Amino acid sequence: MNPPRLPRPPRPPRQRGAALLTAMLVVTIVATLASGMVWQQWRALQVEAAERAQTQSQWVLQGALDWTRMILREDAREGGADHLGEPWAAPLAEARLSTFLAADRAMAEDAPDAFLSGRIEDAQARYNLRNLIQQGKVSPGELQTLERLCGFLGLNGDIAPRLADALRRATPGSGSEAPAEAGNGATSTGSSTAPTTPLMPVSVDDLVWLGLDETTVRQLRPYVVLLPRETPVNLNTAPKEVIAAVLPGIDLASAERLVQSRLREHLKTPADAKAVLGERALTDGRRVSVNSSYFIVYGALRLDQVTVAQRSLLERNGRDVRTLSTQRLRALAELEQALQR
């Protein structure tokens, strides 16, 4: 006789397990979509805040630039030589923007938590590379000046002729038949029949367009400038390397004596430098001056997590001061170096 069969336990319905998996999948998808939407909304808010800070910073920097123009205009009204003891030469350390609005407490309370810093530099304290090209050709005397400056900076001897020849070829209206001649009579390494015409640089940073590497441009930046026209060097503001380069009859030690002498009393005329450098130092008075028409303005505004820095070139003609160009600084290191000088 066979034993009785025990009933099998009931199986859980498969539909219940499938429903549970479906519910978990739906919850996961909804959570993923919700988190994505929240992240996109947060990102949109951050982008909007950054754009608003950028716009506010630009407006404040534009106001600071107008303030700079007023300072230079007042300096022109007083007249006299331009030197480093004047108000325009004093750098503005980072200061809270509300301190400039202290006269109006209502505006100061509503002012953003921003910090402004800046500096005005004499552009004619540097050697103007525009002086190299005269009537479509490289000036031998100016090329010798650039060669001496490169020597003082420890740069390779072929930098000056290569740069001069590239500037000649980039200058509109100049021929490209003959390469630049070095001061010692040797020809440059540039080809007399260049296949392409280089683009004319706008600022010193653009010298890389002419084949210079970043390291060389970084070494040249504090000592050279590109201005719209030929300009003399201001002996009251130029560093010793530029002074020794533009005056062939002196060395770095003599230029350093002039720098120390002007700290006690600035030069009122270029002829005053003869008391320190000697009678034969100023063989060509047109290459040096004690007045300046071009100035470089550095400015930076730090607002929340955003820092905007820019560099502007100003031209002063009498009491008329106008902005020639404004460039956004890609790296704050250049601004920090300018503020430390």
Task: Kindly state the percentage of the chain with pLDDT values over 70.
Answer: 78
DSSP-assigned beta bridge partners for residue 310: 299, 328
Angstrom distance (rounded) from CA 74 to CA 69: 9
Using the predicted structure, report yes or no on whether residue 338 has a pLDDT greater than 80: no
Nearest to 235 by CA among 83, 53, 67: 83
**What contacts 76, CB < 8 A, 6 or more positions away?**
316, 318, 319, 321
CATH class, domain 51-124+294-340, is: alpha beta
121 pLDDT more than 80: yes
C-alpha span between 126 and 203 (Å, rounded): 13
CB-based contact 53:303 (threshold 8 Å):
yes
**Measured distance CA(130)–CA(171) in Å, rounded:** 9
pLDDT digits (tens, 9 = 90+) for 220-262: 999 999 999 999 999 999 999 999 999 988 899 999 999 999 9
Name the more confident of 279 and 90. 90
Read off the pLDDT of residues 282-335 as tens digits, 9 standing for 90 and up: 767 788 999 999 999 999 888 777 788 899 999 999 989 999 999 888 655 555
Spell out the domain ranges in the chain: 51-124+294-340, 127-221, 232-292
Lowest mean pLDDT among 77-86, 199-208, 274-283: 274-283
The mean pLDDT of 89-113, rounded to a whole number, is: 69
The mean per-residue pLDDT over the stretch 81-107 comes to: 79
Q: In residues, how long is the chain?
A: 341
Mean pLDDT of the chain: 82
- The whole-angstrom separation of Cα 139 and Cα 149 is 15
Residue 193 has pLDDT above 70, yes or no: no
Longest Cα separation, the chain: 141
Both tokens of 37, joined, read 């939407």
Spatial CA neighbour of 89 closest among 295, 290, 231: 295
DSSP notation for 194-209: -SSPPPPPSSGGGGGG
Q: Point out the least confidently predicted range of 72-81, 110-119, 316-325.
A: 110-119
Q: How many CB atoms lie within 10 A of CB 84?
A: 16
Quick one: tokens of 217?
């441009």
